[in-house]
Amino acid sequence: MGKTHYKIGIDVGGTNTDVVILDASNQVIAAVKSSTTQDVEQGIFSGLETVLKESQIDTADIAYVSLGTTHATNAIIRRHDLSKVAVVRICLPAGKGVPSLMNWDADLTSAMGATTYLLHGGVEYDGRPLASKDLDQKECMEVLEQIKEAKTEAIAVTSIFSPVNSEHERQFAQYAREYLGPDVSITLSSEIGSLSLIERENSTILNASVVGVAQNAAKGLVEALKRFGIDTKVFFAQNDGTLMALEYAMRYPVLTIGSGPTNSLRGAAYLSGLKNCIVADIGGTSTDVGIMVNGFPRQSSVAVEVGGVLTNFRMPDLISIGLGGGSIVSVDGDDITIGPDSVGYQISKKAISFGGDVLTTTDIALAAGVASISDPRCDPSRLNHLDPDLVKRAMDKIVEMVLQACDRIKTSAQPLPIVLVGGGSLLVPQGAKGENIIRPENSGCANAIGAAIADASGEVDALWATENISREEALREAQEQAVQKAKDMGADPEEIEIVDMEVVPLTYLPGNVMRIKVKAAGPLRIDS
């Protein structure tokens, strides 16, 4: 029997770590939700141990393991374990009016020891060189010598309009590997962000700073799997709801930022059988509301801040509110306040229903009779002293907060079903306020399921000048590039499809320029 039977999905959140095992038809065989530990790897190990023991499957029949992780996010937010980065901008004689790292927090630039260098090069919007066709090798070697003396651990390379022509970025990377060695960590902006120099450069710098973190996380996961006798493919969840192969995750870890909410969106769509719906992922501390369009999370159309830095890589369009299963309910006279403070993973110690002294939203849902918890430590009779009017008003406010967020995410008046997932989804009763609310089976582990069932994808976002090429040829080139990227990420070449394409003529530029965005996706390639 080949290794094509089981998939393991893992999602590491701020409060809980979820692990699931799915069979060949994506049915849940085993699932566990445990508190996220300070040592993230240990939480993953514990979850794996539990589901493997519960399922009693043969580890030789595991096709792959997919992980949604917060390693990169945490490193940037906490300013911890970041690599020392050299920021190389290929832009002279233009492109120096807005300096690199502008408006970055000083503690973040200090944490990554960032130093900037400028080189002659880059291109115009139509691919014409700003300085010369090739980089000045002598100038590049002078910069590389300084980078070596500074004992830099990673290099972030950004060239003007590199999404149009990335040749200068690739030339510098070649010089760097020849001078510094083939294993030097280099991030090219053309492989990370889309158009817009500053935001693309920011994304590139952030990626370079967390490559070391990602490599350690990946190695830790692989070693953990080996301890359980699991020798299989490993994939990481991306922030667009798809997966990328392990080797790519180690090169582009910044694409894992925001993967948690997208895992939940994909898992919710799968569990509900809906391709177009609103998803409310209610966790222990917060609720993330997103929208699924044709089976994929709608992407944000504006630049996204990560750790206080403006970026332009793809991120899901989300609305987050401070409401979760551990949110604290405060009463001041007739006023009721819910969140944003939360007891989080300490709910089993601090909530009244668990013997604590803090009134939480979970306590309210239990008292209202809309939720039940099988944990023997939870005793709803501890809530008998609560005023029924208080319980009703608090429940109304909980439902109102969720439904308002769902209404805000919509872009039209067309009604859409609302799918509730996450450990805190028990807070909202089905059919509340007459809405079409669905809480599917296994909704509590939708995020890990989303990681396990996701496809691999590739995306292209670039400019094409159609003076010397037809529109059809430009579209074909973009599609071929997107398909190749999907293959590189691990998709089965026989099943890749174009799932999204957008063509925008840029009439304000000469040369009949078009911006073409293409996304290709397909199920993972599984070797039997």
Domain spans of the chain, in order of start: 81-210, 274-440, 454-522
The number of helix segments (H) and strand segments (E) in the chain equals 13, 23
Predicted local confidence at residue 1, as pLDDT? 41
Residue 477, pLDDT score: 93
Asked if the 274-440 domain carries CATH number 3.30.420, the reply is yes
Query: What pLDDT is stored for residue 348 in this prediction?
Result: 86
DSSP state of 374: -
pLDDT reading at 121 higher than 90: yes
CA dihedral 50, 51, 54, 55 (to 10 degrees): -160
CATH class of the domain whose range is 454-522: alpha beta
The angle formed by the CA atoms of residues 7, 65 and 485, to the nearest 5 degrees, is 105
Q: Is 70 exceeded by the pLDDT of residue 22?
A: yes
Three-class secondary structure of residue 42 per DSSP = helix
Rg of the chain in Å (alpha carbons): 25
Name the residue with higher pLDDT: 222 or 169.
169
Q: How far apart are CA 229 and CA 74, in angstroms?
A: 29
Tell me, what's the pLDDT at 528?
Answer: 54
Judged by DSSP in three states, 266 sits in helix
CB 284, CB 454: distance < 8 Å: no
C-alpha closest to that of 194 among 80, 300, 67, 121: 300
Residue 131 has pLDDT above 80, yes or no: yes
Q: What is the pLDDT of residues 275-326, one digit of tens each?
A: 899 999 988 888 889 999 888 788 877 777 777 888 877 778 888 888 988 9
Collect all residues with Cβ–Cβ distance below 8 Å to 330 and sequence separation of at least 6.
336, 337, 338, 359
pLDDT at 38 over 70: no
Report pLDDT for 15. Answer: 65
Q: Contact 447/36 with Cβ under 8 angstroms?
A: no
- Which residues are within 8 A (CB) of 173 and not within 5 positions of it... i.e. 6 or more apart? 157, 186, 188
Q: What percent of the chain has a predicted confidence (pLDDT) above 90?
A: 42
Separation in Å, CA 25 to CA 1, 5, 28: 16, 9, 9
Q: Which of 69, 398, 485 is nearest to 236 (CA)?
A: 69
Is the CA virtual torsion 174, 249, 234, 79 positive or negative? positive
**Domain at 81-210, CATH class:** alpha beta
Pair of tokens at residue 41: 């790897």
Q: Which of 15-19, 178-182, 408-412, 440-444 has the highest mean pLDDT?
A: 178-182
